[in-house]
Amino acid sequence: MARSDRSGDIILSTRNVTKRYGQVEAVRELTLEIRDGEFFTIVGPSGSGKSTLIRMLGGLEAPTTGSVWLRDEDITHVPANRRPTCMVFQSLALFRHRSVGENIEFAQKMRGVPPGERRRHALEMMRIVRLPDSYYNRRIHQCSGGEQQRVALARALASDPTILFFDEPLSAIDYRLRKILEVEMKDLHRRTGKTFVYITHSLEEAMVMSDRISIMRDGNIVQTGTPRDIYSRPGSRFVAQFMGEVNVFEIREGRIASPEADVSAIGRHGYLVLRPEHLRRLDGQDAADVRFEAIVESEYMLGSRLQYHLRAGDASLVAEIPIPAATGVTPGITARWGFDLADATLTED
Ligand code: ADP
């Protein structure tokens, strides 16, 4: 509701935060701005510093240097329990021998809220996360993995935090359920209007849910943008490759080595990154900015499309073609392939 008035304002930010553990710099000189009401995801491979960063954002860890801000207030040294934020841990952190209701009401009970009021509030939270009222008395160990996840969310929402932090909440959940919960998380975000800060090593997961994504590498952020920006305009080979199959062509002296193509119009040095769906098989007189011959080495069925692994000289390439357009492409054939420069991204590193 109030969201439209506030959205776009910076709610949480860091300025040059560094966290050292002995010789290890887990986070290095990192500056970040999270907007009020957005679903913001930090993605990076294991060891890139995601957990360290989110712990500093949530007040569970103090930076070695630099500062953390809530709007225009420096909260660097404000402990977690005095921040209007909440860390949603994996469902493992629930009290397994207690009921769903007791778990959700835990914090309110500690604060001395009377039982009737606690119960009403807990049921309201359960409705937000789409848990039936009948689950109120059910023990945690009688709930499925997905239901436990919802209890953990309801418990976090019960304290009405302004910002919710999620540290890989879905990583231990099997693929099918994870896909469902990703959509639920996004819906929940929309329904609550709160700021969600989420970390994951899965860019695929991030893409589904997030308004904006930051990609971390070696303790710093290498790119921030909407899922669409990151997918279509990766700023480096690292980001492009992190997103799955991609073709990388090195440009030297304005030429791409393997296809022998002159691309000096767009750059003399760097890398051209091309998604597999933009590499086309050329028929007869089909035009393309860059053209070359390649042998089809193998074929993989991906559902609605086929993936081909190609070899052009020393280069290994990958193409994906919708099934109706893939007739005649089979392992063993040599064919002409090509792509347009407008579909590729030029990166420096
Ligand atoms: P991620 O969440 O992306 O996997 P982490 O933030 O957990 O990354 O870790 C970043 C780096 O900091 C790693 O090299 C890790 O070993 C190190 N690290 C994290 N926490 C500690 C700690 N408490 N003590 C020592 N080193 C740590």
Q: What CATH number is given to the structural domain containing 111? A: 3.40.50.300
Share of the chain above pLDDT 70, in %: 96
Q: 200 and 253 in one domain?
A: no
Q: 108 and 222 in one domain?
A: yes
**Measured in whole angstroms, how far is the alpha carbon of residue 340 from the centre of its chain?**
28
Q: What is the mean pLDDT of residues 194-205?
A: 93
> What's the domain range around 203?
10-237
Query: Ligand 1: which of 20, 51, 166, 216 to mutate, most ligand atoms within 8 Å of CB?
Result: 51
What pLDDT score does 46 carry? 94
What pLDDT score does 4 carry? 47
- For ligand 1, what atom is nearest to the CA of residue 51? 2
Poorest-confidence range of 87-91, 148-152, 269-273, 282-286? 87-91
27-41, 121-135, 222-236, 335-349 — most confident range: 27-41
- Per residue in 308-336, pLDDT (tens digit) is 999 998 889 999 999 887 778 899 999 99
Q: 213 and 334 in one domain?
A: no
Q: Residue 107 — pLDDT band, cuts 50, 70, 90?
A: confident
Domain total in the chain: 2
Q: 252 and 228 in one domain?
A: no
Instruction: Name the average pLDDT for the chain.
Output: 90
Q: What is the 3-state secondary structure (H, E, C) of 234-287?
A: CCCHHHHHHCCCCEEEEEECCEECCCCEECCCCCCCEEEEECHHHCEECCCCCC
pTM of the prediction? 0.85
Distance between CA atoms of 216 and 255, rounded to whole angstroms? 31
Ligand 1 in reach of 52 Cβ (< 6 A):
yes
Q: Under DSSP, is residue 316 helix (H, G, I), strand (E, B) or coil?
A: strand
Q: Residue 91 — pLDDT band, cuts 50, 70, 90?
A: low
CATH number for 266: 2.40.50.140
What pLDDT score does 7 carry? 60
Q: 226 and 343 in one domain?
A: no
Out of 215, 237, 259, a domain closes at: 237
Query: Which segments of the chain are extended strands (E)?
Result: 10-21, 24-35, 39-43, 65-70, 73-74, 85-88, 163-167, 195-200, 212-217, 220-225, 247-252, 255-256, 261-262, 270-274, 280-281, 290-301, 305-312, 315-322, 334-339, 345-347
- Record the tokens describing residue 10, joined without a space: 């910076």
What pLDDT score does 175 carry? 82
Between the CA of 71 and the centroid of ligand 1 the distance, in Å, is: 27
Out of 180, 205, 237, a domain closes at: 237
Query: Ligand 1: which of 18, 19, 23, 24 to mutate, most ligand atoms within 8 Å of CB?
Result: 24
